[in-house]
Amino acid sequence: MKFTIRARLATAAMATILTTVPAYAEDLNVILFGMPYTYGLAELEDDFEAATGLTANIEVVGQDVFENRITLSFTGKTGDIDVVHTPVIQVQRWVEAGWLHPVTDGVNGMDTKDDILAGPLDAYLVKGDYWALPFFAETGMMSYRKDVLANAGYDHAPTTWAELLEVAKAVNSDDVAAFAMRAAPGQGFNMFVFPMIMRAYGGKFFADYPNDLTPAINSPETLEALNLYIDLINNYGPPGAGNFNFSEVAAAMQAGKIAMFVDGTSIVAQSLDPEKSQVLEHMAIAAVPEGPAGRSPAIAVHGLGIPADAPDPEVSFKFIEWATSEETLAKIALAQPFPDFTRASVAANPEVIAKYESINPDFLNLRVEMLNDAIGHYRPLLPQWPQIGAAVGEHINAAVNGLESPEEALAAAEAEMAELLAE
């Protein structure tokens, strides 16, 4: 008797739970983290339904929530994600862990494969397979204030890092700091921008990537680059620059508080945003400065991939094909500050050209030039890179803020790289 009462209670409880939890109503669950493209895509759910007859639930979350969410889903093999935001910087690690489903057949079967920019697409080629379709290819660029430079007698942007330091000395004032750059520690923060200086001075992460992965960051070349980076941030940057991330850099530029910065194209585009910039009429853009070893603009590629446990990879592929199509990319390029599209045809679209020309006539051409100069392994494509980049970034930041000397920081970074690779 007792048992039946309990059983009945339990059944009632289960029934209540089951009726209040809605079943997944959509055909596809897409999880992305916030950036202009993903915000734009989330508004096009109806377009996807009109194009394919399928429905999608596009969820855009913060990057930290994203990491936790996908890690739980992938390790728990829950199969609840059909399409996942796949940054190139993670793809090696995810492939190694067996978290992704290859999309090689789908990509090779596309009529418009040749329209996709080759560099970003090939970044997803790991172990002979494609693992995602790129929607975003960001590169490095400089943004500066013509008026501030002109007042100091410079009629053009500095073309080398040494010249940039010279200009910084000439233009720095209490009201307008000469320079800013990301300095906050992180694989995607200071380690997205610092290698632009490091590689320009001939510094490198490894002895001979990818053949000889002996850590080689502790070199005179990298030390010279690090000293320049520290000098620029501490002596010619705004107060507090040692903790600046891209949002603080962009905000300082929009408020007219800095004269020059070097960052990714998406941040440079924000400095040219007519709605936000208080000094728009003075803004100009230029190439990433060169060093003794040439120019090395940053590159970051994001794409859409299919989790290994997605229930129907063919349906998932239909989504990523649509989401990275010429039509969708052009729509988002027009609706959002999104000049980082990955198809040649979008760059040739008159409306897109008109929009970005009105902001800055050189922007799209300069972007292509920088993309051509960028090397694919700007940040080494290794499964361990996310943790190596984070550890190195912490030492670089410690050196900027005086917690370690530049020599100590590079020695410690090299030792930790070796430890992480040996594990």
Give the DSSP per-residue string, 175-216.
SSEEEE---SSSTTTHHHHHHHHHHHTT--SEEETTTEEEE-
Q: Does 414 bind other proteins (CB under 8 A)?
A: no
CB of 136 to other proteins, least distance (A): 22
17 — alpha (psi -120 to 50), left (phi > 0) or beta?
A: alpha
One-letter amino acid of 231: D
Is residue 186 involved in binding other proteins (CB under 8 A)? Answer: yes
Is residue 153 involved in binding other proteins (CB under 8 A)? no
Nearest to other proteins of 226, 320 (CB atom): 226
Instruction: Tell me whether residue 13 or residue 354 sits nearer to other proteins (CB atom).
Output: 13
Q: Whose Cβ is closer to other proteins: residue 98's or residue 292's? A: 98
Residues 317-356, one symbol each (x = binds other proteins by CB under 8 A, - = not), give: ----------------------------------------
For CA atoms 35, 39, 44, 49, give the dihedral sign: positive
Report, in Å, the least distance between residue 413 CB and other proteins: 11
Report the site for other proteins in 6-65 (rule: CB under 8 A): 6, 9, 13, 64
Q: Residues 189 to 208: which contact other proteins by CB under 8 A? A: 189
Look up residue 231 and give its two tokens: 């000098």
Query: Looking at beta carbons only, is 2 or 127 nearer to other proteins?
Result: 2
Can you tell me the distance from the alpha carbon of 62 to that of 81, in angstroms, rounded to the nearest whole number?
Answer: 16
Residue count, binding to other proteins (CB under 8 A): 44
Q: Would you say 367 or 395 has its CB closer to other proteins?
A: 395
Report the alpha-carbon distance of residue 118 to residue 124 in Å, rounded. 10
What are the contacts of 212-216 at 24+ separation with CB within 8 A?
213/382, 213/421, 215/414, 215/417, 215/418, 215/421, 216/414
- Is 71 among the residues that bind other proteins (CB under 8 A)? yes
Applying the rule CB under 8 A, the residues between 363 and 392 that interact with other proteins are 383, 386-387, 390
Choose among 269, 261, 251, 268: nearest CA to 336.
Answer: 269
395 binds other proteins (CB under 8 A): yes
Q: Which is nearer to other proteins, 80 or 248 (CB)?
A: 248
- Among positions 184, 272, 366, 392, the unique one binding other proteins when judged by CB under 8 A: 184
Q: Of 64 and 111, which CB lies nearer to other proteins in the complex structure?
A: 64
CB of 414 to other proteins, least distance (A): 16
Question: Cβ 229 to other proteins, closest distance in Å?
Answer: 14
Whole-Å CA distances, 337 to 20, 55, 301: 40, 26, 16
252 binds other proteins (CB under 8 A): yes
Question: DSSP 3-state assignment of 116?
Answer: strand
243-205-86 Cα angle (round to 5): 70
Residue 155 as a binder of other proteins (CB under 8 A): the answer is no
Nearer to other proteins, 119 or 238 (CB): 238
178 binds other proteins (CB under 8 A): no
Give 36 or 386: the residue with its C-beta nearer to other proteins: 386
309 counts as binding other proteins under rule CB under 8 A: no
Residue with tokens 């803004």: 283
- Return the residue of 397, 406, 414, 417 that touches other proteins, per CB under 8 A: 397
Cα(402)–Cα(405) distance, rounded to whole angstroms?
Answer: 6
Least gap, CB of 240 to other proteins (angstroms) = 3
> HSE on the CB side for 119, CA within 13 Å?
22
10-45 CB burial, b ≥16 within 10 A, e <16: eeeeeeeeeeeeeeeeebbbbbbbebbbbbbbbebb
Q: Does 89 bind other proteins (CB under 8 A)?
A: no
For residues 73 and 99, the answer to whether their CB atoms sit within 8 Å is no
Query: Does residue 68 belong to the site contacting other proteins (CB under 8 A)?
Result: yes
- C-beta neighbour count of 114 within 10 angstroms: 9
Q: Does 1 bind other proteins (CB under 8 A)?
A: no
Q: Which residues would be at the binding site for other proteins (CB under 8 A)?
A: 2, 5-6, 9, 13, 64, 67-68, 71, 75, 93, 96-97, 184-186, 189, 238-245, 248, 251-252, 255, 257, 383, 386-387, 390, 394-395, 397-398, 400-404, 420
